[in-house]
Structure 1
Amino acid sequence: MSIEKVTVVKYDGEIRSETQDNAAIEHPLTIQLDGEEFATMVCSPDHLDELVIGFLASEGIIRSSEQINSLQIDNTRGFAYVELKNKQVRNKDSVSKRFIGSCCGKSRQFYFQNDVLTAKTIRGHMNMSVKQCLRLMEDMQNQSSLSQLTGGFHNAALGTKEKLLLSRTDIGRHNALDKIYGYCLQNHISLADKVVVFSGRISSEIVLKVAKIGAAILLSKSAPTSLALQLADDLGITAIGFIRTNRLNVYTHPERII
């Protein structure tokens, strides 16, 4: 469960009342990779196996889930123990042990060597209609029950242009995408004709995540940053933001939207 009940004292003007409310759980998870601490992240305590696999793939440590010999999650202590089939000698200049927060922005470092190695340039020729973009965003928001309960989660979903295939929530926006990525690797899902639907701002980190996943189109209800749009243009990703009611903005590679 990713939420817990908390006691809240509310004021309506001068009228005081005490009630129960829902709060998102913030769960620290440390990944130990081949016996060494690799990273600590703050996340929602669900689908942690997907999160770990997606994160390791995003960091360039693995390319498929078959490269993992064992993965054990200790929820009580907040550890994920990962043993690879072939232990690697990792370059500490390209992969550094770091704390990964649930908030946006400076909690993540950018331009690691692994970003260059794992972000794919998308060359697919899929296209979709404006109506399909609007419907996928509406479907994701309708499925986001945790966000509706607390307002404390980011939402991500994967779909074809016709329908959503799966959705994940997390207090960290990058974690939600890593869960999607991990699920795809575990279940050998082809990403050639897939769309990523996302609730948060389109930052450079999010574009890199989508490029690593391999999706050609990114839909968001929020705004993009300038660096994100430069990366999306370079990586062949169609970035669409401000999807609300009957409106949207296509920022890069508009040829895919008909």
Structure 2
Amino acid sequence: MDQQMQVTNKVLRYENGVVQLVDDVIVTEYPITVILNNQEFATLVCSPEHIEELVVGFLASEGIIRCYEGIKELHFIETTGKAIVTTHRVNKLDEMFHSKRYVTSCCGKSRQSFYFYNDARTVKPIETRNKMLSIEDCFRLMEMMQRSSTIFQDTGGAHNAALCDRNGIVVARTDIGRHNALDKIYGYCLKHSISIEDKVIVFSGRISSEVLLKVAKIKCGIVLSKSAPTELAVRLAKELGITVVGFIRNKALNIYTNPERIIDLD
């Protein structure tokens, strides 16, 4: 894509009593309209990178497709910002349930319950509770994820997410929308047939209920964050069997749910 992930802009900066005009790097936003089976489905406001992965992951998390092979055709028209998608199977329940939506770079209003129709049919509890990570693994993977994004380091205006195993990062993505970063990871895994059973999501921002649901739809049993979860996210994690580890910073962390996957807690 010709779109840039970041641009330079003149700003007035105040520091130590001095005001001066300086160059500042800011992150860009880009709207993508998904046309699904000849109907406008949703507009995603995102960072202009890895668009196919984003669309694939978004459709999978919405329950429109179950695998990458569920897509018959997908092409992106950069001049109009449209992703044209044709699926092999059209579910009439999808047609009744979904209407045109505008999905912003923020998560929008909080959910009162995850039992919306598309969540209830796509989110399943994660049953396996094998021990996967040590405390030291949590610190190490968080540090690796934070080092992986120059966009965040340059602008401070994006979210980072990484799919990891104990050895390190499998794939990392950055986006202005925290859910977009997760959808890009999901799309990458579907496209490349990457198993997620033994993987971990490492995340830069707050674990909201929507982020927790994205992790559940990806089918990861552990999510690590340098920030905190919300009360609803913790409640959902308990229901869905997901281990939530937050506030990973300065050699300290909190384990909020399902600690049995952490090796050191025997």
User: Residues 86 and 142 from structure 1, CA distance in 2 versus in 1: closer, same or farther, beyond 3 angstroms?
Assistant: same
* Cα-to-partner distance string for 1:61-90 (whole Å, 9 max, x where unaligned): 000111111111122211110011223324
Select which of 211, 215, 219 maps to 1:210.
215
User: Residues 108 and 177 from structure 1, CA distance in 2 versus in 1: closer, same or farther, beyond 3 angstroms?
Assistant: farther
Could you tell me which amino acid in structure 1 is paired with residue 261 of structure 2?
R
Partner of 2:162: 157
Partner of 1:197: 202
1:18-33 residue pairs with structure 2 within 5 A? 18-33=21-36
Select which of 75, 80, 84 maps to 2:78.
75
Partner of 2:59: 56
Corresponding residue SS for 2:124: coil
Give the distance between the partners of 1:24 and 1:242, measured in 2 at CA.
25
Point out where structure 1 has 5 or more consecutive residues left out of the alignment: none
More moved, 154-163 vs 50-59: 154-163
Partner of 1:139: 144
Give the distance between the partners of 2:31 and 2:111, measured in 1 at CA.
15
| Partners of 1:95 and 1:114 within 8 A in 2 | no
Corresponding residue SS for 2:92: coil
| Cα distance, 1:126 vs structure 2 | 3.7
Partner of 1:227: 232
| Partners of 2:64 and 2:94 within 8 A in 1 | no
Partner of 1:167: 172
Select which of 27, 44, 47 maps to 2:47.
44
Corresponding residue SS for 1:178: helix
Give % identity.
Answer: 54
| Cα distance, 1:238 vs structure 2 | 0.3
| Partners of 1:123 and 1:236 within 8 A in 2 | yes
Q: TM-score, normalized by length of structure 2?
A: 0.92
Point out where structure 2 has 5 or more consecutive residues left out of the alignment: none
| Partners of 1:155 and 1:168 within 8 A in 2 | yes
Give the distance between the partners of 1:257 and 1:222, measured in 2 at CA.
18
Give the distance between the partners of 1:246 and 1:5, measured in 2 at CA.
35
Give the distance between the partners of 1:111 and 1:37, measured in 2 at CA.
25
| Cα distance, 1:108 vs structure 2 | 7.9
* Cα-to-partner distance string for 1:8-55 (whole Å, 9 max, x where unaligned): 122335643222211111111110001100001110000000000000
User: Residues 93 and 239 from structure 1, CA distance in 2 versus in 1: closer, same or farther, beyond 3 angstroms?
Assistant: farther
| Cα distance, 1:92 vs structure 2 | 5.0
Give runs of ≥4 in structure 1 deviating > 6 Å: none
Select which of 99, 103, 107 maps to 1:100.
103
